[in-house]
Amino acid sequence: MSRYVISLGGNALGNNAEEQKKLLKYVAHAIYPLIEMNHDIVIVHGNGPQVGMINLAFNESPSTPLMPFAECGAMSQGYIGYHIQNAIQNIMLERHIKRPIATVVTQVLVDEKDPAFLHQTKPIGSFYKKEEADELSLKHGYTMVEDAGRGYRRVIASPKPVDVIEKESILSLLKDKQIVIAAGGGGIPVIQRNGELVGVDAVIDKDHASAKIAEIVGADELFILTAVEHVYIDYNTPNQKALKDITLKELDIYLEESHFKKGSMLPKIEACMNFVRATGRPAVIAALEKAVEAFKQTSGTIIKP
């Protein structure tokens, strides 16, 4: 029996409730063999499009109050957690297997002094015209920047996860053989101020949060499932080459040669390297559609010490 942390990319979730339900049905089928083998499982998921959608719905409706970003993140954890629970419960019902599953609304501690708060880089929500952007910035103190010729968008900070506030709950659920969904969207970012935990406007990268969760629960393996079958060097060039088995030392060289794109593959590589370095255990980056093979280590990129 092993303990796995499985991290699902935003691509796993589609663009609306119906798509999300359908895609998660596939995810549930892929994870099912691990459930049947009685492995411990923690599922972490992204929430980029979903949290943007929730935030936008509040922002654009004149009859509802503005909703802080941390609260929107909490809503997305509940909504996505419900769909993951439902998909896994339905396959267990079909196969006559019983195992409890629960979503933990998860706060993740970040450092108020994280330099990320000084350089807000993560665009969220909808696009605005210059005048609208100026107004939002004046009215709500948002930082607005021009995003690749498509208009102005709000940007927020993306600090690193320091600790998981609900870690004891996650550990007891695992001890109780429950399947756990936690740190959705990277977790709800909170800082510690005057002895209180306070939610902040930020987005924690879900790849880094997955690695933190994997470290805390003592995972035997971390799986990051995304849209590509492997990590590649010279990605998107005629020389593109898939990496299958790779060590930390080899990855260091590729990192130096900038083979991994910031904001997409780089955080996955960094997160996996942190986990492998801290635990001496392997991490796998693979395609969601090849999840079954990835769990058997016959597809994807396996990162080893």
**In this complex, which beta carbon is closest to ligand ADP, that of residue 167 or of residue 259?**
259
Stretch that binds ligand ADP, among 71-79, 108-116, 208-216, 258-266 (CB under 6 A): 258-266
Q: Which residues pair with 122 in a beta bridge?
A: 156
Asked if residue 52 binds ligand ADP (CB under 6 A), the reply is no
Task: Check 25, 122, 160, 304 and give the catalytic one.
Answer: 122
**In this complex, which beta carbon is closest to ligand ADP, that of residue 93 or of residue 242?**
242
Q: What does the per-residue mask of binding to ligand ADP show for 210-239, with x meaning CB under 6 A?
A: ----------------xxx--xx--x----
Asked if residue 264 binds ligand ADP (CB under 6 A), the reply is yes
Asked if residue 58 binds ligand ADP (CB under 6 A), the reply is no
Asked if residue 9 binds ligand ADP (CB under 6 A), the reply is yes
Whether the CB-CB separation of 152 and 128 falls below 8 Å is answered with yes
Catalytic-residue membership of 185 = no
By C-alpha distance, which of 13, 3, 296, 7 is closest to 178? Answer: 3
**In this complex, which beta carbon is closest to ligand ADP, that of residue 10 or of residue 123?**
10
Kindly tell me the burial class for residue 96, based on how many C-beta atoms sit within 10 Å of its own C-beta (0-12, 13-18, 19 or more). exposed
Asked if residue 189 binds ligand ADP (CB under 6 A), the reply is no
**In this complex, which beta carbon is closest to ligand ADP, that of residue 46 or of residue 159?**
46
Asked if residue 128 binds ligand ADP (CB under 6 A), the reply is no
**In this complex, which beta carbon is closest to ligand ADP, that of residue 161 or of residue 191?**
161
Where helices occur in the chain by DSSP H, the ranges are 17-36, 48-60, 69-94, 130-140, 167-175, 206-216, 248-256, 265-279, 291-295
CA angle 173, 174, 176 (to 5 degrees): 65
Phi, psi of 209 (to 5 degrees): -65, -40
| Cβ-count burial 209-220 (b if 16+ within 10 Å, e if not) | bbbbbbbbbebb
Stretch that binds ligand ADP, among 6-14, 50-58, 101-109, 146-154 (CB under 6 A): 6-14
Whether the CB-CB separation of 70 and 129 falls below 8 Å is answered with no
Asked if residue 178 binds ligand ADP (CB under 6 A), the reply is no
Joined tokens for residue 202: 């930020």
Catalytic-residue membership of 25 = no
- SS3 readout for 102-162: EEECCEEECCCCCHHHCCCCEEEEEEECHHHHHHHHHHHCCEEEECCCCCEEEEEECCCCC
Chain mean position to CA 231: 18
Nearest approach, Cβ of 23 to ligand ADP (angstroms)?
12
Asked if residue 259 binds ligand ADP (CB under 6 A), the reply is yes
Catalytic-residue membership of 206 = yes
Catalytic-residue membership of 268 = yes
Catalytic-residue membership of 122 = yes
Nearest approach, Cβ of 199 to ligand ADP (angstroms)?
23
CA 147, CA 137: separation in Å to the nearest integer?
Answer: 15
List active site positions.
10-11, 122, 206, 268
Instruction: Please give the residue ranges that form the binding site for ligand ADP (CB under 6 A).
Output: 9-11, 46, 226-228, 231-232, 235, 259-261, 264-265
